[in-house]
Copies of this chain bind each other. A is one copy, B any other.
Amino acid sequence: MGDAIRPDWSGRLNRTWQRAAASSLAAGPAAVRAAVVISTPTNLNYLCGFRGSAGLMVLTSGEHYLLIDGRYDFAARSEQDAGRLGPVAIRRVEGRFDQALADLLGELPAGDVAFESEFVTVAVLTKWQAGSPTRTWVPTSELVEDLRVVKDAHELAIIRRACARLADVAKHLREFVAGGLTERQVAGSIDAAILRAGFSATAFPTIVASGPNSAHPHARPSDRKLRDGDLVVLDFGGVLDGYCGDLTRMAAVGQVQANARALVDAVRLAQDAALATVRAGVLASDVDQAARDVLSRHGLGEAFLHATGHGLGLDLHESPRIGRADAVRPIKLEAGTVCTIEPGAYVDGLGGARMEDDVVVTAEGCEVLTDAPRDLLIV
């Protein structure tokens, strides 16, 4: 069982500290890094297993600290005793977090302090600076996120399990989708199935978009009843041990128009092309282009309103983005990266289609983790 293996927290912590110590973005060559403050919740989870809503980590060349308030103190110490929390020194915060951070930084030797510029708000940084006015505060970008792009064995074991369970839910979609039910009712049945499958939560509000609503990639379930001739987009996900799975399948109610059927087929071919392109060393934008080329050949280039996919892990959307070369930074796929492949096409007056699977990138190609039939489900 994958969960018998503990996450390699020490390795993750050391790599983060090394990366932060090596970076000297704003600081110049003479700068010494005294500490890195980690505040992004999923990064706290990744680095030490802490999953509370309020916490801070302070990494240093010596000890690594976890600052938490009284609500989590006992639980965190128990988790650590049980080996479910990484090698961090726990500090209970009695008052305000910014004061506790200032106190801790006051104990450290001279040097600058790095922080996560994509998570820390202007208001929080202002408080931190006021608490430690003599420190230089150095913004970092994707410091931990870049390390999270390639999943380790522990993560892959969880993600495999999550995707297998999500595929099981997909195999039962026929039980939940039928003409006469509202989108909301169908979404409720899918949500219940996700929770029954052992997920701790849905990964996002389930999308059930029928008929004209299917033409909008981000439609929300409404009280519209599914009716004959509808295309129905079913997009859902679950969180297992903190990791997200994400899957989309298509249904049709009764008889659909030939051009609606052709739309679904084109999207499936686009997904095939993208899946065939995925391989370690390939540019993410090349995978996107493969899907886009197929849809363009079907006259649906303009109808593909979003990117082909996104990285998947502790966050539902994480690096790498599988998008157009002009919209994403150039990034080569690496073995062990997990991402979605989900082209779609949306045509007002006709409807929309999306097909989504989760894959892990390998040296030779990719492995599809959400192994459920992709055929148009006719109900």
Which of B115, B123, B141, B221 has a CB less than 8 Å from the CB of A118? B123
**Binary CB contact string for chain A from 53 to 84 against chain B (1 if under 8 A, 0 otherwise):** 10000000000000000111011000000000
Q: Are B122 and A218 in contact, CB atoms less than 8 angstroms apart?
A: no
Question: A200 at interface (Cβ–Cβ under 8 A)?
Answer: yes
**Binary CB contact string for chain A from 188 to 202 against chain B (1 if under 8 A, 0 otherwise):** 100110011010111
Given A75-B218, A218-B52, A218-B72, the answer on whether A126 and B121 have CB atoms closer than 8 Å is no
Which of B51, B75, B122, B217 has a CB less than 8 Å from the CB of A71? B217
Contacts of A305 in B (CB 8 A): 70-71
Contacts of A96 in B (CB 8 A): 327
Question: A255 at interface (Cβ–Cβ under 8 A)?
Answer: no
Q: Which of A208-245 contact B (CB under 8 A)?
A: 215-221
Contacts of A75 in B (CB 8 A): 216, 218-219
Copies in the complex: 2
Q: Are B117 and A120 in contact, CB atoms less than 8 angstroms apart?
A: no
Contacts of A123 in B (CB 8 A): 117-118, 139, 141
Contacts of A187 in B (CB 8 A): 195
Question: A176 at interface (Cβ–Cβ under 8 A)?
Answer: no
Q: Are A74 and B216 in contact, CB atoms less than 8 angstroms apart?
A: yes
- For the complex formed, measure the closest distance between the CB of A119 and the CB atoms of chain B, giving whole angstroms: 6
Question: A332 at interface (Cβ–Cβ under 8 A)?
Answer: no
- For the complex formed, measure the closest distance between the CB of A85 and the CB atoms of chain B, giving whole angstroms: 14
Q: Are B139 and A95 in contact, CB atoms less than 8 angstroms apart?
A: no
Question: A348 at interface (Cβ–Cβ under 8 A)?
Answer: yes
Query: A53-B218, A70-B305, A184-B198 given. 17 additional CB < 8 A pairs?
Result: A70-B306, A71-B218, A75-B216, A75-B218, A95-B326, A115-B122, A117-B121, A119-B121, A120-B122, A184-B200, A188-B195, A188-B196, A191-B191, A191-B192, A192-B192, A200-B205, A201-B202
Q: Which residues of A contact B (CB under 8 A)?
A: 51-53, 70-72, 74-75, 95-96, 115, 117-123, 125-126, 139, 141, 184, 187-188, 191-192, 195-196, 198, 200-202, 205, 215-221, 305-306, 326-327, 348
| 5 A-B pairs with least C-beta separation | A117-B123, A117-B122, A188-B195, A192-B192, A118-B123
10 contacts between A and B (CB under 8 A): A70-B306, A71-B305, A72-B218, A115-B122, A118-B121, A121-B122, A122-B122, A126-B139, A191-B195, A192-B192
